[in-house]
Amino acid sequence: MSTFSGLNRATTALWAQQRGLDVTGQNIANINTVGYSRQRAELQSVNGNAVPAMYAVSNQVGQGVDADTVIRIRDAFLEGRAQSEAASSAQMTVRSESLAQVEQAFREPGTTGISAKITSVYTSWSELASSTQEDGARAAVLQNTATLVAELHTTSATLGEQWTQTRDSLDVLADDVNSKVQSIADLNASIKRANQAGLPVNELSDKRDVLVMDLAQAIGATSTPGDDGQVNLVVSGATLVSGDKATLIRAVGTNDPATVTATDPRFETSPGGTRVAVGGTAGGKITALTDTIPRYSKQLDAVARQVADEINAAHTLGFDKTGAPGGQVFDNGGSGVGTPITAANINLLITDTSKLAAASVAPVVGAGASADNGNATALGKLQDKAGGSASLYRKLIVTLGVEGSVATSNLETQTVIASQVDASRESVSGVNLDEEMTNMLQFQHAYSAAARMITAIDETLDKLINGTGRVGL
């Protein structure tokens, strides 16, 4: 034992406990910081000389304590789980929201939706059957039909607007993702340099991991550990961050809801142009753009077409007030020959009330035009027709309802799962004040004890130096 090794050992203890208190202070300071992982000073006892050098002596007692490294306490497996759960949650949230928006566009069940308008068109035909010669009843048919046409236009336009807004948000999303991808690459570079220099990187790593989690939500990115504390960021096989190198993405594809296909719009790498199969919020938006909204738009178009077809077919069988054969009621609003009728272009051709064909009997020479109600009755009965517009539309709404409610309950389940994973993560990485207080007391007491140790050695040396050999003095 060297004379002063006891003092040295006590000094390392003072340092170590001080370090411990520092880390405790840092933990308490960041108890509410998002993404902060609690830290711990790794205390290690310092061994005595296991292989004594020549002339050296070893008393087999360790040389104190070492507190050089401060580690982040986190579970890589849970972090990975959290990333994929956050991506699923974000995707399901967008899905549920986009379906909710589609539901709002249809406003069913109620008195203002298309269903009520279809019903009033057919009941007004039925009403006309009671008074075929009255212009009031004829005007009611025209008014109700015009209202239905306007409602189809409005609903179609609302869906189109929803599509356009979602499409626009892709560009914003890509910008946001790109800035975060760049930040992660920059942080990776800093972390690598700091690690090589042996400097602490815990806070930088926390900051980067928050960004990684953001990207997991935004595009379903997952991270894999790289060299020197760096992470690589991958989105379904496409690498966005590799060490300090970033690959950016951009949104491409049509801006026009009318020309959308299932492969369009999408995200691709920029530069490179490789398609990126995104998840998360972006994935949800892509699904809304290429599937949900176009599908309901098409179904609405089919309803509009059915309305036009069934009324046109029935109307042309009849005869109008003047005895002339009934004409077409709807066309495609000048969209060109061969263009099918859609909810957006459906157009009411008849403006003159006398042109409505309520009669089913051809005029007879001498007796003039027939005032019978056969055709009006037939048109009124169309609303109960199996496979008619009313039942087609009802099918659309029920499909939408089922899809919406499935999406909502899926989201609820996913939210529970995600919050459980979050709770597990928090239970590993979160700061517990009670624990920190206990640690603080421990370090405080240990510090006091180490200080006391120094005093004891001091007193011992004092006795040795000042008191030894002074017998009788």
Partner 1 sequence: MRITQRSLAVTSLQNLNRNMEAIAKLQAQQTSGKTINKPSDDPTGTNAAMQTRQEMASATQYARNISDGISILDATDSALHNITEQVQNARALTVQGLNDGSLSEASRVAIATEVDGIRQSLIGLANTAVKGQPIFGGVTSGPTAYDAAGTYTGFGGTTAVPAIEITRQVSSVDAVRVDITGPEAFGETTATSKDLFAIVGDIARDVVDDPDALAGHLAALDVALDRLKKAAADIGTRTNRIETAKQVNSDLQLTLETRSASIENVDLAKTMVDLSMMQTGYEAALGATAKVIQPTLLDFLR
Site membership for partner 1, residue 362 (CB under 8 A):
no
Query: Considering the complex, what minimum distance in angstroms separates the CB of residue 450 from partner 1?
Result: 21
| Contact in structure between 289 and 263 (CB atoms under 8 Å) | no
Q: Which token pair is 188? A: 């990776």
Query: Considering the complex, what minimum distance in angstroms separates the CB of residue 242 from partner 1?
Result: 33
Nearer to partner 1, 386 or 473 (CB): 386
Annotate 182-192 with b (16+ C-beta within 10 A) or e (fewer).
ebbbebbebbb
* Beta-carbon contacts of residue 80 (< 8 Å; ≥ 6 apart): 222, 223
Q: Do β-strands 44-46 and 231-235 pair in parallel, antiparallel, or remain unpaired?
A: unpaired
Give the max Cα distance, the chain.
160
Query: Considering the complex, what minimum distance in angstroms separates the CB of residue 257 from partner 1?
Result: 22
Assign 3-class secondary structure to 72-132. ECCCHHHHHHHHHHHHHHHHHHHHHHHHHHHHHHHCCCCCCCHHHHHHHHHHHHHHHHHCC
* Beta-carbon contacts of residue 253 (< 8 Å; ≥ 6 apart): 260, 264, 265, 266
Nearer to partner 1, 203 or 228 (CB): 203
Query: Considering the complex, what minimum distance in angstroms separates the CB of residue 392 from partner 1?
Result: 12
Q: Which token pair is 53? A: 């050098």
- Euclidean distance between CA atoms 393 and 210, whole angstroms: 46
Site membership for partner 1, residue 400 (CB under 8 A):
yes
User: How many C-beta atoms surround the C-beta of residue 93 within 10 A?
Assistant: 18
How many residues at the interface with partner 1, by CB under 8 A? Answer: 66
The sign of the CA dihedral 450, 456, 460, 463 is positive
Nearer to partner 1, 134 or 168 (CB): 134
Contact residue for partner 1 among 68, 256, 352, 384 (CB under 8 A): 384
Q: Which of residues 104-163 bind partner 1 (CB under 8 A)?
A: 104, 106, 108-109, 115-116, 119-120, 123, 126-127, 129-131, 133-134
Q: Which of residues 279-338 bind partner 1 (CB under 8 A)?
A: 321, 323
Nearer to partner 1, 287 or 347 (CB): 287
Query: Considering the complex, what minimum distance in angstroms separates the CB of residue 455 from partner 1?
Result: 25
Q: Is the peptide bond before 271 cis (omega within 30 degrees of 0)?
A: yes
* Binding characters for partner 1, 67-106, by CB under 8 A (x = yes): --------------------------------xx--xx-x
DSSP designation for 259: G
Site membership for partner 1, residue 361 (CB under 8 A):
yes
- Taking contact as CB under 8 A, which single stretch among the options 75-83, 157-165, 375-383, 459-467 is the one that binds partner 1? 375-383
- Taking contact as CB under 8 A, which single stretch among the options 77-85, 296-304, 343-351, 358-366 is the one that binds partner 1? 358-366
- Euclidean distance between CA atoms 362 and 320, whole angstroms: 9
The residue ranges that bind partner 1 (CB under 8 A) are 31-32, 99-100, 103-104, 106, 108-109, 115-116, 119-120, 123, 126-127, 129-131, 133-134, 321, 323, 359, 361, 364, 367-374, 377, 380-381, 383-384, 390, 394, 397-398, 400-405, 407-408, 419, 422-424, 426-428, 430-434, 437-438, 441
